[in-house]
A and B are shown apart, each in its own frame.
Chain A
Amino acid sequence: MIQAENLVRNYGSFTAVNSVSFTVAEGEIVGFLGPNGAGKSTTLKMLAGYLAPTSGKVRIGGQDMETEPRLCKTLTGYLPENNPLYEDMETADYLLWCGKMRGLEGAPLENAVAAAVADCGLQSAIGKSIGQLSKGYRQRTGIAAAMLHNPKILLLDEPTSGLDPNQAAEVRRLILSLRGKKTILFSTHLLNEANAVADRLLIISKGVIAANATAAALIAEEDGLARLTLSLEKGPKAEEAKTLFSAIEGVSECIVHDGAELHVTLRHDAARDIRKDVFSAAVKSGWTVLELSRETPSLEEVFRRLTA
């Protein structure tokens, strides 16, 4: 449904998006992740037809954005970053206006507005001007406007940004309720949100796609190295601990934090169980082990490694 082919986008001499290619299949919900300034919004702007790519192609529903922009835009509903709205308009008027701009008229238009108001829980915003709405209602208005013409594709740029946890949960529920009915690409900073809602994650870093897989697959990939953390009673020096544990076979990295206790994090070959070696090495040195645990890497770590 959505195809990005070698998209490049320069702002002057700065390359914001560099040869980005991916596809989103019909009915799929894909989370678009990346640090600030990684190129998420620029990519979405190109997919929405607002920005022209410096090079590369955007295809929406098989149509080329360059030659068939109107057809592509008809298939797409777009919520821009920061959700710009006409503040002077009344909520219902704005939705009616968006519908008319997209060619809806008469009963279909009224039905579409009524459905969008119901789906997005906008009933109490009707009769108020957009400038008076709270952040949550503004966001819902933006999403309702994007969904109004029943597009097959939704491009949502940070749909939950600036919302309180309850409002964010509502937006997530709304996105989930569209699973299978619409093809959705949404950007977010929140890894848990992406993991909870998306079928697949697309991670972009410095304008380049760093990962394109399900969250489980990303974590499994990271699993080549397992982690072991232990706490030692205060006594040994950080340097001594580092020397001792680094020498154990299979350990590839040893990080020591000196505090009220000595916290040691070991990254090691996942194929080897080094718990016994670590424990006995500590005991032999006369150190007291307070805690010893294995940890699986979190999505957050995967994200940090990919976007560092």
Chain B
Amino acid sequence: MTALWTLYKRETGQYFGTPAAYVAAIVFLLISGYFFATPLFIVNQASIQSYIDTAPLLMTFFIPALTMRLFAEEFKTGTAEVLLSMPLRDWQIITAKLLAALTVAGAAIALTLIYPLTVGMFGTLDWRAAVCAYAGLMLTALMLCSAGLFASVISRSQIIGFIVGFLLVFGFYVVGKISSFVPPWFASFTDFMGLDLHLDNLARGVIDSRDLMYFLSVSGFFIFLTQAALWNERLD
């Protein structure tokens, strides 16, 4: 556990020690702030709905930017050899890196808590729905971080890590938007695979185990793939 914690602290410290994470977080906050403030001031609508609606799309850019370096950089510079010859299990390395990315994503999401607080001050806020929506955003962050981590472990450069990560997570975003373009029998499948349906349910304050299972199983799937890719790295 000490090793996992030590690695987590180094990974998190690296995010906060370099400008890249700040730039990504600031861009995320600026754009999400724009989408929150526009209906508030123009339509006089006190709601966080437009922020919750746009947050997944913003996260498809923001999160791969966070996760792209996690493994790709280690393989590029060769430090993977130092790390993987330490007496740690692979899952400890994966967990530490995943939690570090999730911490930064979580910090950025936590900064947007100002939106529901603002709404609460000037209008009426459905607190249950807001809490569920933020839980949904964190689950989305977990899922996208897991996919981004997998993209990073199969890439040898940060840029490739970003592009692969973006394509993966954007796939999950866009597949939830295409139900009107596919045959009806297929639409329920694309809806279920997409992010929207599950996040919308949570944002309405509906806690459905299927939505939780969706986020957790997709995250678990990518963590498993990351572990397999890391093992393959030793065999390859």
Q: Which chain A residues have a beta carbon within 8 Å of chain B's beta carbons?
A: 11, 45, 48-52, 54, 69-71, 73-74, 76, 78, 80, 82, 84-88, 97-98, 100-103, 105, 145
Contact = CB atoms under 8 A, between A and B. Distances in A.
Nearest to B18: A88
Given A80-B78, A85-B79, A70 B88 contact: yes
Q: Which of B10, B88, B236 has the most CB of A within 10 A?
A: B10
Nearest to B10: A97
Given A52-B234, A100-B2, A101-B3, A80 B87 contact: no
B235 A52 contact: yes
A123 to B, nearest CB: 23
B88 A80 contact: no
B128 interface: no
B79 A86 contact: yes
B85 A73 contact: yes
Contact of B89 (A70, A78, A102): A70
Interface residues of B, number: 24
Interface string B79-96: 111101111110000000
B44 interface: no
B86 A80 contact: no
Nearest to B232: A52
B78 A82 contact: yes
Interface of B: 2-3, 6-7, 10, 14, 17-18, 77-82, 84-89, 231, 234-236
A11 B6 CA distance: 33
Contact of B82 (A54, A74, A85): A85
A73 B77 CA distance: 21
A100 B88 CA distance: 12
A45 B6 CA distance: 24
A50 B234 contact: yes
21 contacts: A48-B85, A50-B81, A50-B85, A51-B235, A69-B87, A70-B87, A70-B89, A73-B85, A73-B86, A76-B85, A78-B81, A80-B85, A84-B79, A84-B82, A87-B77, A88-B17, A101-B6, A101-B7, A102-B3, A102-B87, A103-B87
Contacts of A69: 87
A51 B81 CA distance: 9
Given A100-B6, A101-B3, A51 B234 contact: yes
Contacts, number: 67
Given A48-B81, A82-B78, 19 more contacts: A48-B85, A51-B234, A52-B231, A70-B87, A70-B88, A70-B89, A74-B87, A78-B81, A80-B81, A84-B79, A84-B82, A85-B79, A86-B79, A87-B77, A88-B18, A100-B2, A100-B3, A103-B87, A105-B2
Contacts of B86: 73, 98, 101-102
A48 B80 CA distance: 13
Contacts of B89: 70
B235 to A, nearest CB: 5
What are the nearest 7 A-B pairs in CB distance? A84-B78, A73-B87, A100-B6, A80-B81, A70-B87, A52-B234, A48-B85
A54 B234 CA distance: 10
Contacts of B77: 84, 87
A49 B85 CA distance: 6
Contacts of A102: 3, 86-87
A101 B87 CA distance: 8
B137 to A, nearest CB: 30
Contacts of A11: 236
Contacts of A70: 87-89
Contacts of A50: 81, 84-85, 234
Contacts of A84: 77-82
A103 B86 CA distance: 10
Nearest to B3: A101
Contacts of B84: 49-50
